[in-house]
Amino acid sequence: MILFDGKTYESSEQDRLLNELEKRIPEILSKKQLSPEVVIDAAFQLRKDLLKGRFDDLLKVFPEDTVETYKKQAEALLSKEQLHKKLDTELGNTEEYVTDPVSGFSQIRVRKMPLGVLFHISAGNMDFLPAYSLAEGLMTGNINILKLPSADNGLSLKLIMQLVEYRPELKDYVYVFDTASTDIQGMRKMAGLSNAISVWGSDMAIEAVRGLAPTGAKIIEWGQKLGFCYVTKLNEVSGADGELEGLAKHIATTKQLLCSSCQVIYIDTEDMNEVKSFGEKFLPVLETAVNGNATQEIGIRARDTLVSYTQRLKSYLGEEDRHDDVLRGKGCSVIIAEDSALELSPMMCNVLVKPLPRKDIGKTLYAHRYHLQTAGLICPEKDRQELAELFTRCGLIRVTNGADMSAYFPGECHDGEYALNRYMRIVNVEC
């Protein structure tokens, strides 16, 4: 399904609509710039309807506690106050100003403006990500072309359509296509219409986008990152059992599909007996969390099962490293490994547990510097600040509690940068 000019079309209309879009873009860019207030108003109306239960039928595919979490996030983050704060934080002063006079030189007027046309290539590992990415493009006044991920269940398109229904003037700035990633010609056409490409995905996906981007197009990468949890002096941690339960629930609810999800649990030790002892302690905690967060929706259960067994088959076929010391539970496993490499786990509630003494943190993280994002901490309170500073010096972007590794915090950046600022340019006009 395609959303074009506020109307839906069949996917077979893609080529015709892209040709039409090529003619429309110059006309739209010649108009008055889209005000962020229009976008904020539409998002606020979406918030009100969501809290009233208008979209409950669309959300029933998610577990109840997940829906409640989404609603709480929407209540806070889609308020007009928070949306204005996001603009102020990420863009700063957007008012035009004139530079101070310098003898012998003209003064210039300086202002921030949209890049023009943004092509969003969104990943399917995070619910609502396509709609969120497009909304950020709208808040900065850009025309937005969105390629939906293959895993999208149609919810993103429905939410975007709702925004356009609230404020019809948005229709000139929103174009959504369900183009397959194998349709290189179609994606190349979309890239050719754009000033910048915002791409979410793996290293391979980003490399492919670089190949189809026209010379001069700005590529805004939101690449694959890896998260881990660091556990030290567990016997000194106040409420250690609750901390482990929180980490287990995080793993169970995210299925380790997000960049911020816990792939590896590092234990501050060189002793493999301690590593295995932790794994044996954590397995029943993880199993309880997995059973408590199981979904009854048959499609999601089938997807999770396929992903899990595909990873296991790859291991049996030698396509991935073998980990022989596997502690298996119902719907989950704890994989004990002797190395300290930061790597992607088999996911779907199958977590790696490895040794990483504090003295080796810098060396280990430097080797994976391109993929660092989130570190969860389970440690005594007296060690927390020291470890947080150590991790951020070594390249981590986020340091959280183990339970909150994938939580969203108002005002936070993404991968160390503010998205809105990347979607703007600075223009100078001589006075």
Paired tokens of 404: 């909150």
- What are 131-143's pLDDT values in tens digits? 889 999 999 999 9
pLDDT on residue 410: 83
User: What domains sit in the chain, N to C, each tagged with a CATH number?
Assistant: 2-224+415-430 (3.40.605.10), 226-404 (3.40.309.10)
Q: 131 with 156: CB under 8 angstroms? A: yes
Mean pLDDT along residues 374-400: 97
Give pTM, 2 decimals.
0.86
Residues in contact with 279: Cβ distance below 8 Å, sequence separation at least 6, in sequence order? 327, 334, 336, 353
* Local confidence band at 324 (pLDDT 50, 70, 90 cut-offs): low
* Local confidence band at 298 (pLDDT 50, 70, 90 cut-offs): very low
Q: 390 with 367: CB under 8 angstroms? A: no
Say yes or no to pLDDT of 61 above 80. no
Place of tokens 């009233």: 52
**Length of the chain, please?**
431
Say yes or no to pLDDT of 99 above 50. yes
Paired tokens of 402: 């183990």
* Local confidence band at 342 (pLDDT 50, 70, 90 cut-offs): very high
Q: What is d(CA 348, CA 306) in angstroms, rounded to the nearest whole number?
A: 10
**Ordered strands of the 174-177 beta sheet:** 7-9, 2-4, 174-177, 143-147, 117-121, 196-201, 218-223
- What are 216-266's pLDDT values in tens digits? 999 999 988 999 999 999 999 999 999 999 999 999 999 999 999 999 999
Paired tokens of 427: 């223009």
In terms of Cβ atoms closer than 10 Å to its own Cβ (0-12, 13-18, 19+), residue 61 is middle
pLDDT on residue 312: 53
